[in-house]
């Protein structure tokens, strides 16, 4: 690719989703990630119980992300061809899993507030 | 409850991470040179992919230039989307936007076509009678589809009633072509496909629609009722030998008949027959569905301008540019972008993307009193869709070399889902970013 840079990537994503939606999505991702780091810093530890619930949610995030990508691209699992396709599919699943996992962890932490665990 | 104290984060680490990310983002962008001060008059013929994109790029590189763009079409068509529309995957609106949507403020758009081009006097006459003088001319008119060269054909015939598909004609025709294909893959019969003998835009598109039609019939469970015949104009299915062999292999695997050196010259919509010129004489075949791709030529004003090659493509009229600098061989203040260029390869939007920085460099360098250095190597790309959900990302250059953008990652001759994703999701966004001069 000619002149492939982060700015090109941003320009392409802005065209793909529209400028407003793209930056709202980026902002939401940044806010959730920052909130996750915030609760880690605030609590000074990773709560195993919250982490376990977050982990349980991850398969749902993975499946939802894969289903969404297949749906918007008019394709199905039968179209997966070479190794790169499997890697991309796993990447999509991993993003969905981690994204939902972080979200669930953050929601638990913020809802319960800072507390000592039993 | 156990706690992972070793995973404890600190505020300092968090801030450090954030600062690093911002620094990376800032450093990743291309360094933009200071605009060159000039009062040059630059005239761009055509506000399609090449014209709109170069207008945006020049506006950010030049300060004070008088940039005029001439195009009588009010609609902008995203032509790479026509195949998706003709395969029922998108509606006609997918490919339609406004010409003015892509043109920046500071560029003077005249909503007329060029009627006459005189490179001797550096002037262009518009269809409205205006005379425009220029210091630099960029020819980005695109090409014209010569439907009249197919005897018996009329664009109004396209659609399910006749079984005629003509998706090159525009978004609405592409949608009518889908209705014809949908009916054919329901009812069955003989489907004829092929390409013209002239140079053409997106030479892979006739192959794509043939493979998509076969896939759609298979998905519907009607494959055994349909026969597919692909008519190549040359003794191969694709001009690049390695890609020809791969396409031939796929057509063999999917029981698609292919014939070499068959050029469509006439159709009879009433009798549903098509006549092909072949080295052994004319051949007439019956069809239930036919995809017509007509001969393609430079617009008349360009053909008559003196800019065309005198001894090559004489029936087509492509302009005589240097194949590496895209600068006119006889008129150094004239450049070409896109389909209109008389170069051996690359009438695609991907080629336009690679023409742009070359023309920009040579034009801006000349204005700045320097010599341009960028060269075009014939790069073009074709996400060759082989079925709904898979494509081959074939990229090649003047030398027929494969030039993969992601070597070792995306295999160019492998039918892949990721290549389909690019065509379906990323290509239009990249195209739009290119039009705005940002990709």
* B97 located within any domain: no
Contact of A37 with chain B, judged by CB distance below 8 Å, is answered with yes
Q: Do residues B186 and B322 both lie within one domain?
A: no
| DSSP E strand stretches across B86-166 | 96-98, 107-110, 114-118, 123-126, 131-133, 136-139, 144-145, 164-165
What's the longest Cα–Cα distance across chain B? 87
Task: Please report the pLDDT score of residue B219 as a whole number.
Answer: 97
- pLDDT, one tens digit per residue, over B267-309 is 999 999 999 999 999 999 999 999 999 999 999 999 999 999 9
* B384 located within any domain: no
Task: Please report the pLDDT score of residue B439 as a whole number.
Answer: 85
Q: Do residues B181 and B246 both lie within one domain?
A: yes
Contacts of B10 in chain A (CB under 8 A): 41
Task: Please report the pLDDT score of residue A8 as a whole number.
Answer: 86
| Whole-structure pTM value | 0.89
**Domain spans of chain A?**
6-112
Give me the number of domains chain B comprises.
2
What six digits make up the tokens of B405?
């953008």
Q: Is A13 in contact with B429 (Cβ distance < 8 A)? A: yes
Is the pLDDT at A118 greater than 50? The verdict is: no
Task: Give dist(CA B206, CA B256) in Å, integer.
Answer: 13
- pLDDT, one tens digit per residue, over B105-114 is 999 999 999 9
Task: Please report the pLDDT score of residue B110 as a whole number.
Answer: 98
Domain containing residue B55:
36-72+111-143+298-367
CA count, 13 A, side-chain hemisphere, B230: 28
Q: Do residues B123 and B165 both lie within one domain?
A: no
For chains A and B, CB pairs below 8 A equal 120
Contacts of A48 in chain B (CB under 8 A): 1-4
- In this prediction, residues A50-60 reach a mean pLDDT of 95
Task: Please report the pLDDT score of residue A115 as a whole number.
Answer: 55
- pLDDT, one tens digit per residue, over B320-343 is 999 999 999 999 999 999 999 999
Out of A5, A69, A82, whose CB is closest to B416? Answer: A82
Q: Do residues B339 and B238 both lie within one domain?
A: no
Q: Using pLDDT thresholds of 50, 70 and 90, give the confidence band for residue A114.
A: low
Is the pLDDT at B397 greater than 50? The verdict is: yes
State phi, psi for A58 to the nearest 5 degrees.
-60, -40
Task: Enumerate residues 6+ apart whose C-beta is below 8 A from B1.
Answer: A47, A48, A49, A117, A118
Which 8-state DSSP code applies to residue B116? E
Q: Using pLDDT thresholds of 50, 70 and 90, give the confidence band for residue B438.
A: confident
Is the pLDDT at A98 greater than 90? The verdict is: yes
Q: Is A6 in contact with B28 (Cβ distance < 8 A)? A: yes
Task: Give dist(CA B30, CA A10) in Å, integer.
Answer: 13
In this structure, the dihedral spanned by the alpha carbons of residues A93, A96, A98 and A102, taken in order and rounded to 10 degrees, is -170
Is the pLDDT at B21 greater than 90? The verdict is: no
Is the pLDDT at B88 greater than 80? The verdict is: yes
* B259 located within any domain: yes
Cα-Cα end-to-end distance for chain B: 52
- pLDDT, one tens digit per residue, over B345-381 is 889 999 999 999 999 999 999 999 999 999 999 999 9
Q: Using pLDDT thresholds of 50, 70 and 90, give the confidence band for residue B74.
A: very high
Q: Is B424 in contact with A47 (Cβ distance < 8 A)? A: no
Q: Do residues B152 and B279 both lie within one domain?
A: yes
Out of B3, B11, B353, whose CB is closest to A47? Answer: B3
- In this prediction, residues B27-37 reach a mean pLDDT of 66
* B427 located within any domain: no
Contact of A46 with chain B, judged by CB distance below 8 Å, is answered with yes
Q: How many CB atoms lie within 10 A of CB B300?
A: 14
Q: Is B409 in contact with A41 (Cβ distance < 8 A)? A: no
Contact of B12 with chain A, judged by CB distance below 8 Å, is answered with no
Alpha carbon separation from B214 to B31, B89, B199, B209, B388 (Å, rounded): 48, 15, 26, 9, 10
Residue B127, classified by CB atoms within 10 Å of its CB into exposed (0-12), middle (13-18) or buried (19+), is middle
Which residues are B144's β-sheet partners?
A: B297
* B16 located within any domain: no
Most confident range (mean pLDDT) of A40-44, B27-31, B414-418 is B414-418
Q: Give yes or no for a contact between B97 and B28, defined as CB atoms under 8 angstroms apart.
A: no
State phi, psi for B354 to the nearest 5 degrees.
-90, -20
Q: Is A76 in contact with B389 (Cβ distance < 8 A)? A: yes
Contacts of A2 in chain B (CB under 8 A): 353-354, 357
Task: Give dist(CA A38, CA A52) in Å, integer.
Answer: 19
H-helix or E-strand containing B14? helix B11-28
Is the pLDDT at B236 greater than 70? The verdict is: yes
Taken in order B419, B421, B425, B426, is the CA torsion positive or negative? negative
The rounded percent of chain B whose pLDDT value lies above 90 is 90
Is the pLDDT at B239 greater than 90? The verdict is: yes
Q: Do residues B311 and B252 both lie within one domain?
A: no
Contact of A30 with chain B, judged by CB distance below 8 Å, is answered with no
Contacts 24+ apart (CB under 8 A), B317-320: B318/B199, B318/B342, B318/B343, B319/B139
Q: Give yes or no for a contact between B160 and B71, defined as CB atoms under 8 angstroms apart.
A: no
Whichever domain contains B212, its CATH number is 3.50.50.60
Residues 166-225, chain B: which have Cβ within 8 Å of A? none
Q: Do residues B302 and B335 both lie within one domain?
A: yes
Q: Which of B308, B297, B299 is nearest to B71 (CA)?
A: B299
Is the pLDDT at B1 greater than 50? The verdict is: no
State the smallest CA–CA distance between residue A54 and chain B in angstroms. 15
Task: Please report the pLDDT score of residue B34 as a whole number.
Answer: 86
Q: Do residues B202 and B308 both lie within one domain?
A: no
- pLDDT, one tens digit per residue, over B117-127 is 999 999 999 99
* B385 located within any domain: no
Q: Give yes or no for a contact between A97 and A62, defined as CB atoms under 8 angstroms apart.
A: yes
Is the pLDDT at B164 greater than 80? The verdict is: yes
Q: Give yes or no for a contact between B410 and A81, defined as CB atoms under 8 angstroms apart.
A: no
Q: What is the mean pLDDT of chain A?
A: 89
Contacts of B435 in chain A (CB under 8 A): none
* B246 located within any domain: yes
Round the CA-based radius of gyration of chain B to a whole number and report it: 24
Find the closest chain B residue to A92 by CA distance.
B418
Q: Is B429 in contact with A85 (Cβ distance < 8 A)? A: no
Q: Do residues B171 and B261 both lie within one domain?
A: yes
Q: Is A81 in contact with B409 (Cβ distance < 8 A)? A: no
- pLDDT, one tens digit per residue, over B37-63 is 999 999 999 999 999 999 999 999 999
Task: Please report the pLDDT score of residue B30 as a whole number.
Answer: 47
Q: Do residues B43 and B136 both lie within one domain?
A: yes
- pLDDT, one tens digit per residue, over B240-268 is 999 999 999 999 999 999 999 999 999 99
* B355 located within any domain: yes
Contact of A116 with chain B, judged by CB distance below 8 Å, is answered with no
Q: How many CB atoms lie within 10 A of CB B98?
A: 11
Q: Which of B271, B294, B275 is nearest to B283 (CA)?
A: B275
Q: How many CB atoms lie within 10 A of CB B51?
A: 29
State the smallest CA–CA distance between residue A16 and chain B in angstroms. 5
Q: Which of B282, B287, B283, B108 is nearest to B213 (CA)?
A: B287
State the smallest CA–CA distance between residue B262 and chain A in angstroms. 33
Residues 368-427, chain B: which have Cβ within 8 Å of A? 387-390, 405, 409-411, 414-418, 420-421, 424-426
């Amino acid at each position: 690719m000619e002149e492939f840079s982060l700015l090109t990537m941003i320009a392409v994503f802005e065209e793909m989703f529209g400028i407003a939606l793209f930056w709202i999505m980026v902002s939401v991702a940044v806010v959730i990630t920052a909130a996750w780091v915030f609760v880690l810093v605030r609590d000074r530890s990773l709560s195993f119980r919250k982490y376990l619930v977050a982990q349980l949610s991850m398969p749902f995030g993975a499946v939802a992300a894969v289903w969404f990508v297949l749906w918007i691209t008019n394709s199905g699992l039968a179209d997966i061809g070479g190794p790169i396709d499997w890697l991309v599919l796993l990447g999509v699943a991993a993003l969905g899993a981690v994204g939902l996992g972080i979200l669930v962890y953050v929601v638990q932490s913020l809802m319960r507030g800072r507390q000592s665990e039993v | 409850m156990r706690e992972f104290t070793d995973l404890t984060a600190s505020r300092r680490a968090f801030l450090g991470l954030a600062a690093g990310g911002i620094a990376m983002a800032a450093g990743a962008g291309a360094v933009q040179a200071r605009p060159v001060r000039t009062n040059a008059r630059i005239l761009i013929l055509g506000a399609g992919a090449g014209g709109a994109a170069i207008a945006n790029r020049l506006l950010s590189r030049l300060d004070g230039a008088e940039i005029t763009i001439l195009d009588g079409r009010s609609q902008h068509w995203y032509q790479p989307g026509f195949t998706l529309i003709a395969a029922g995957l998108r509606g006609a609106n997918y490919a339609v936007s406004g010409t003015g949507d892509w043109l920046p403020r500071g560029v003077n758009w005249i909503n007329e076509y060029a009627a006459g081009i005189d490179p001797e006097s550096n002037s262009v006459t518009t269809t409205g009678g205006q005379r425009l003088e220029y210091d630099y001319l960029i020819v980005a008119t695109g090409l014209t589809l010569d439907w009249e060269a197919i005897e018996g054909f009329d664009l109004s015939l396209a659609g399910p009633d006749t079984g005629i598909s003509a998706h090159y004609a525009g978004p609405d025709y592409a949608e009518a072509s889908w209705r014809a294909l949908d009916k054919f893959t329901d009812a069955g019969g003989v489907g004829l496909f092929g390409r013209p003998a002239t140079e053409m835009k997106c030479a892979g598109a006739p192959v794509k629609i043939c493979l998509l039609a076969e896939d759609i019939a298979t998905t519907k469970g009607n494959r055994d009722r349909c026969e597919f015949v692909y008519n190549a104009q040359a003794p191969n299915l694709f001009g690049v030998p390695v890609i020809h062999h791969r396409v031939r292999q796929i057509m063999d695997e999917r029981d698609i008949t292919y014939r070499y050196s068959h050029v469509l010259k006439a159709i009879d919509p009433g009798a549903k027959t098509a006549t092909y010129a072949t080295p052994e004489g004319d051949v007439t075949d019956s069809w239930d569905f036919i995809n017509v791709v007509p001969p393609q030529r430079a617009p008349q004003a360009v053909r008559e301008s003196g800019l065309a090659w005198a001894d090559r493509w004489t029936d087509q009229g492509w302009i005589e540019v240097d194949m590496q600098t895209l600068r006119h061989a006889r008129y150094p203040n004239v450049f070409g972008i896109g389909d209109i260029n008389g170069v051996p390869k690359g009438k695609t939007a991907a080629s336009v993307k690679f023409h742009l920085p070359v023309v920009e460099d040579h034009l801006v360098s000349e204005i700045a009193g320097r010599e341009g250095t960028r060269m075009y190597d014939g790069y073009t790309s074709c996400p060759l869709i082989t079925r709904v959900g898979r494509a081959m990302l074939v990229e090649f250059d003047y030398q027929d070399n494969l030039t993969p953008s992601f070597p070792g990652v995306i295999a160019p001759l492998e039918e892949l889902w990721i290549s389909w994703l690019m065509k379906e999701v990323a290509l239009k966004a990249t195209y739009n970013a290119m039009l705005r001069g940002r990709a």
